[in-house]
Amino acid sequence: MKLTASMMITLDGVYQGPGGSQEDTRGGFDRGGWVAAHADADSWPWLLEWFERADAFLLGRTTFDIWEPYWPQHDGGDAVSHGINVKPKYVPSTTRSSSDWQNTHFINGDDAAVEAKIRELKAQPGNELQVHGSGVLLRWLLERDLVDELNFRVSPVILGEGLRLFPESGMSHDMELVESQTFPGGITILTYRPNGRAKLEDAV
């Protein structure tokens, strides 16, 4: 399976709390709910097609904790909500090993054990192992060159505060642009393929 990651993000790099004011209030964050104002019906077919390609999901613990109480109560039978509920969900965790949510599998152990399990999942036949949100996990995956494709859904918003996907200090990455698309509400989809470390050159 190809490991693909999707991240909703603002123009200033914030990924915290896109869906609502109470979704993720870590650090006293009170500017959640920044996606809805720019969402539009034209993006729904794109989102359905995206989730239809998923054979399984790989989720960070915070994203899983947000999804776990919500999606079982909001299964509309479509590729997004139903897919999230019934398809396998893999969650690296050092503190949890079970959930009542169907088809949930926790990956326990140290970094080496988690990496080995993810490589094992990627080696299985299928379409995509999808990561949604999960900023800390996504950075960890990129550092280990485990991401095959990275999709940003960029909202035309500057929040001024909140957790940023890429902090001021970290590993560099070069990205090859695969596809881009802008919807009427202003959200831009940018799809990249990781291409090693950043190429640093002096301008001629």
List pLDDT tens digits, range 52-96: 999 999 999 999 999 999 999 999 999 999 999 999 999 999 999
pLDDT of 170 > 90? The answer is no
| All structural domains of the chain with their residue ranges | 2-194
CATH 3.30.230.10 fits 2-194, yes or no: no
| Residue range 150-161: mean pLDDT, rounded | 97
Given a cut of 90, is residue 183 above it in pLDDT? yes
Q: Which amino acid is at 189?
A: I
pTM for the complete prediction? 0.93
Q: What is the pLDDT of residue 33?
A: 96
Confidence tier at 147 by pLDDT (50, 70, 90): very high
Is the per-residue pLDDT at 128 higher than 90?
Answer: yes
User: H helices of 144-198, where?
Assistant: none
| Phi, psi (rounded to 5 degrees) for 17 | 60, 45
Contact 48, 78 (CB under 8 A): yes
Question: What are the residues whose beta carbons fall under 8 Å from the beta carbon of 111, sequence distance 6 or more?
Answer: 140
What are 8-55's pLDDT values in tens digits?
Answer: 999 999 999 999 999 999 999 999 999 999 999 998 999 999 999 999
Token pair for 105 = 């599998």
Residue pair 60/136 in contact (Cβ under 8 Å)? The answer is yes
pLDDT at site 203 = 85
